[in-house]
């Protein structure tokens, strides 16, 4: 009897985590460059149930049974978000459609070969330097200029150039005086190349990234080396634009309702087992 109780309890936990993932997506619906997460639910390994009598070598197989489900992970969707024109010179948006020869990617950015090998579409990210000197990556290009002239993220992390040094404006120079060219180099108000080029990094397997808060990602240990995007990569950085969150509000609402209904169904199963156990103890046990 308790097997069903454990299955229902695992379902409650899985749906709660699914609910938390969806609500986090909805909360970041207006966060620039935010990438949606999708909860992946898997079942526990199957078990073969059988019955046998004491001291009897024969047994009767009942069938296979899954002992429950669990929310294994939250997979990030790196689908391109819509662009919104802001006309703010410190706002930047990445439009990334990096191709890999011989591969066709679906909407989720995944290509599956005939032998089952999965290849993920490379993605482009702004490169930041955190306060502890480590690299971080983001698609949220709503930047600011600090009091000492550094181009920073909203969280105060400095934006890096291709020389791996933070981008800093000269004294008495405004970011509105700089224009980003197609080659990602800044041009001043006189049309002269400033010598500063925005570093946009290519991550060949974006699923090696983990969230670290404030819209930032960090690479996991043992991840492949990161390279600046090349001229052949189909990547464009647009100034005066902002990439919006790629969260699908309508689908998130449906997923939220589905998680709630599934949670209620598992809750009713737990209540049923609770009532059955109560009868077994208070009524059957008394006889």
CB distance 186 to 197 below 8 Å: yes
224 lies in the same domain as 87: yes
Return the pLDDT at 67.
74
27 lies in the same domain as 43: yes
152 lies in the same domain as 71: no
> Using the 8-state DSSP alphabet, how is residue 149 labeled?
S
Return the pLDDT at 44.
79
90 lies in the same domain as 222: yes
205 lies in the same domain as 118: yes
207 lies in the same domain as 111: yes
22 lies in the same domain as 9: yes
Integer Rg of the chain from CA: 26
**Number of structural domains in the chain:** 2
101 lies in the same domain as 208: yes
pLDDT < 50 regions, the chain: none
Q: Look at the block and give the residue holding tokens 């909805």.
A: 26
For the stretch 265-270, contacts whose Cβ atoms lie closer than 8 Å and that sit 24 or more positions apart, written own/partner, are 265/11, 266/8, 266/9, 266/11, 266/12, 266/15, 267/8, 267/12, 269/4, 269/5, 269/7, 269/8, 269/11, 270/5, 270/8, 270/9, 270/12
Put simply, whether the predicted model's pTM sits higher than 0.75 gets the answer yes
Return the pLDDT at 285.
56
d(CA 130, CA 60): 63
198 lies in the same domain as 114: yes
Helix (H) or strand (E) holding 258: helix 249-279
Return the pLDDT at 206.
92
127 lies in the same domain as 226: yes
150 lies in the same domain as 231: yes
Q: How many CB atoms lie within 10 A of CB 25?
A: 27
Domain that holds residue 16: 2-75+248-284
Return the pLDDT at 286.
63
Nearest to 142 by CA among 119, 126, 163: 126
114 lies in the same domain as 206: yes
Return the pLDDT at 192.
92
């Amino acid at each position: 009897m308790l097997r069903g109780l454990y299955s229902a309890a695992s379902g409650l936990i899985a749906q709660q985590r699914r609910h938390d993932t969806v609500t986090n997506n909805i909360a970041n619906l207006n966060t620039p460059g935010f990438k949606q997460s999708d909860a992946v639910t898997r079942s526990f390994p199957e078990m073969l149930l059988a019955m046998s009598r004491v001291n009897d070598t024969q047994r009767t197989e009942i069938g296979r049974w899954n002992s429950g489900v669990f929310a294994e992970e939250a997979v990030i969707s790196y689908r391109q978000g819509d662009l919104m024109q802001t006309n703010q010179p410190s706002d930047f948006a990445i439009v990334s459609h990096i191709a890999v020869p011989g591969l066709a990617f679906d909407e989720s950015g995944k290509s599956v070969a005939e032998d089952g090998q999965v290849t993920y579409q490379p993605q482009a990210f702004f490169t930041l330097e955190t306060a502890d000197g480590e690299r971080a990556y983001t698609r949220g290009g709503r930047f600011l200029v600090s009091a000492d002239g550094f181009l920073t993220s909203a969280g105060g992390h400095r934006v890096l150039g291709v020389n791996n040094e933070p981008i800093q404006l000269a004294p008495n120079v405004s970011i509105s005086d700089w224009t980003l060219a197609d080659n990602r180099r800044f041009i001043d108000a006189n049309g002269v190349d400033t010598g500063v080029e925005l570093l946009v990094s290519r991550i060949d397997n974006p699923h090696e990234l983990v969230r670290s808060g404030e819209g930032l990602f960090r690479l996991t240990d043992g991840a492949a080396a990161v390279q600046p995007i090349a001229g052949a990569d189909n990547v464009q950085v647009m100034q005066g634009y902002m990439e919006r969150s790629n969260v699908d509000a309508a689908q998130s609402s449906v997923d939220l309702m589905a998680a709630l209904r599934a949670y209620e169904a598992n809750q009713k199963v737990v209540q049923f087992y609770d009532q059955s156990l109560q009868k077994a103890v208070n009524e059957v046990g008394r006889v």
